[in-house]
Structure 1
Amino acid sequence: MWEAFLEPLSYEFMQRSLIVAVLVGLICAVVGSYLMVQRLALLGDAISHSVLPGLAVAYMIGANIFIGAFIAGVLSTMAIAWIRSRSPIKEDAAMGIVFSACFALGITLITLIQRDNKIDLNHFLFGNILAVSRPEVWQTALISALVLVVVVLLYKELLFYTFDPLGAQAAGLPTNLLNFGLMLLIALTIVASMKSVGVILVLSLLITPGATAYLLVNRLHQVMILGAGIGIVSSISGMYLSYFFNLPSGPAIVLVVSGIFVLALLFSPTHGVFTQPQTKSNESMVWRELKGLIRRH
């Protein structure tokens, strides 16, 4: 048992991968808790897909791809805010427009790069945590520390703004700055997660651990703490599954965290499908309408 657990740790690349997996599982769960509570899961998806043009352009000009991805993420959030403020288009539609346009631009640029350079940039789409270098571990650690420090320092303000934006504005809090700061935290988290699970799968780590914790506990700080634990356990478990069964690491991590969510959905003491009896009030409306149609005929 212990031999199997310690075997991957004898390889330096696995040591680096596990460190990054733990850091990413932690910050994704913490930042994603705000997204889930605000019902802005699509925003995380939009930003994650919008970083692709930034990393492609950064590679083309020889700059740091993490910086390029972060700038692209910030610009995409500004574009969403600008479309929402200067037109009658709702925020979700603005997110869809920006997300699809940036994703298409990123794929196009990556294709052009690969035409002249035999280099694989597709790992940014699906993740390649086993290939993280020592500098990338330090970059991820610095980003994680920055994100966690900001969350701790602004916890009360972000909590107030998350649950009651109008009340926070009436209380004199800089709600626009808080909103923009939260977008920056999301962009930083996505940049830190690119090599782990890729921009396509990062939404799962942003939302699923917090959603799982939300089925088990009530308060936001409890959701963050439990979600962080779920994210870390899922990341480590996914890495070990990837090592022993020769699976792609990013999808393995996502499958583990999704499996834990399914267990919580089925067996949660307060919201579980099997632990809470189905009543007339929470019975599916579609099922009730179907039964009504069957009775009529």
Structure 2
Amino acid sequence: MTESLLIPFDYEYMRNAMWVSALVGGVCGLLSCFVALKGWSLLGDALSHAVVPGVAVAWMLGLPFALGAFASGLAAAWLMVFIRRNSRIREDAVIGVVFTAFFGLGLVLLSLFPSNIRLQTIVFGNVLGIAQGDILQMLIIAGGVLAVMALRGHDLMLWAFDAAHARAIGLNTALLQALLLGCVAAVAVAAMVTVGAVLVIAMLVAPGATAYLLTDRFRRMLAGASAMGAGTAFAGAYLSYFLDGSTGGVIVSLQALIFVAVLILAPRHGLLAGRRARRAAQATLQGAA
């Protein structure tokens, strides 16, 4: 039995898939805390889809795919911010229009200029066939995100909780927003290879939302979300070998199961805890009456 459970570690492609997935999951979990606090869940989805035209243009120009995807993600983020600040359109409508427009443009470019880029790989990911260049790219992105968090993490936390207060004490909130958008766009590019554009949104939301139900301290939330992201990504890649299923799908399914369990059982903010608190309040009122 033990030998059977260790079989995935005998294959280099599985070892690469597991540790790369854990790396991306941990970084996504870290950023998911800020995404959850700022209400940027749809933004992560938008950026993950907006990278498609960048990948197509990079292929046509002979540039690295990551460069095109990152540039396209930043362009989409800037366009969303510009439209939101200069129109009366609601933020969710702006995000929906921009990400569908970019994704549609990407589909047109891929159909007009056929290449060796498979749309299925972009949409669903292929971490089992990850190349050394993609691994290096993920290491660079992860290092960059961690450096930003180490240098400006406190300012980003203050801005995420209260942007008005951050502005009042002299912080450059526009720069902080640009830094966070850049980190999310970069991680969306990295996670696209692992779970694909469709499932990136789950990795950028589920860990932070789960940790938010478990603690009221932001630093613990960061640690918990990062651990959940890395752990579920590693376990999902491992289990996908035995299930012979989509690696990204298994990872996201694990995260969803954990979220549902925490939503029900969280000691302070879970559904059962809320029901007990309401019953206790009703009992107190009846006793006072």
Matches of 1:226 and 1:123, distance apart in 2: 30
Q: Provide the residue aligned with 1:103 in structure 2.
A: 103
* SS in structure 2 at match of 1:88: coil
CA distance in 2, matches of 1:246, 1:94: 39
1:38 Cα deviation from its structure 2 partner: 1.1
Post-superposition CA distance 1:159-202 (Å, at most 9, x none): 11101101111111000010111100100110111110011100
Pick the aligned partner of 2:184 from 183, 186, 190. Answer: 186
Alpha-carbon shift at residue 237 of structure 1 (Å): 1.4
Q: 1: distance between equivalents of 2:280 and 2:63? A: 57
Aligned length: 280
2:250 to 247, 252, 263: 252
Deviation string 1:98-129 (CA, Å, 9 cap, x unpaired) is 11111111122223344xx4652321101111
- Consecutive unaligned residues in structure 2, runs of 5 or more: 282-289
CA distance, structure 1, for counterparts of residue 52 and residue 196 of structure 2: 10
Q: Post-superposition shift, 1:78?
A: 0.9
Runs of 4+ residues over 4 Å off in structure 1: none
**CA deviation profile, 1:189-236 (whole Å, cap 9, x unmatched):** 101111100111000000001111111111111111101111111111
**One-letter amino acid of the structure 2 residue matched with residue 224 of structure 1:** L
C-alpha root-mean-square deviation of aligned residues, in Å? 1.8
Kindly provide the CA deviation profile for residues 237-290 of structure 1, in whole angstroms up to 9, marking residues without a partner as x: 1112210010011111100111110110111111222344263899xxxxxxxx
**Structure 2 counterpart of 1:36, which letter?**
A
Deviation at 1:64, TM superposition (A): 0.5
- Distance in 2, Cα, partners of 1:248 & 1:52: 21
Residue 77 of structure 1 and its aligned partner are, at CA, apart by 0.9
Question: Residue 68 of structure 2 aligns with which residue?
Answer: 68
Provide the residue aligned with 2:43 in structure 1: 43
Instruction: Tell me if structure 2 keeps the 8 A contact 1:16–1:134.
Output: no
Question: Is contact 2:19-2:234 (8 Å) kept?
Answer: no
The TM-score normalised by the length of structure 1 is 0.90
Q: What is the aligned partner in structure 2 of residue 84 from structure 1?
A: 84
Q: Give the 3-state SS of the residue equivalent to 2:216 in structure 1.
A: coil
Rounded to whole Å, the distance in 2 between the matches of 1:4 and 1:215 is 36
Q: Distance in 1 between matches of 2:117 and 2:226?
A: 34
**Comparing both chains, which one has the higher relative contact order based on Cα–Cα distances under 8 Å and sequence gaps of 6 or more?**
2
What aligned pairs does 1:233-244 form with structure 2 within 5 A after superposition? 233-244=231-242
In structure 1, the residue matched to 2:7 is 7
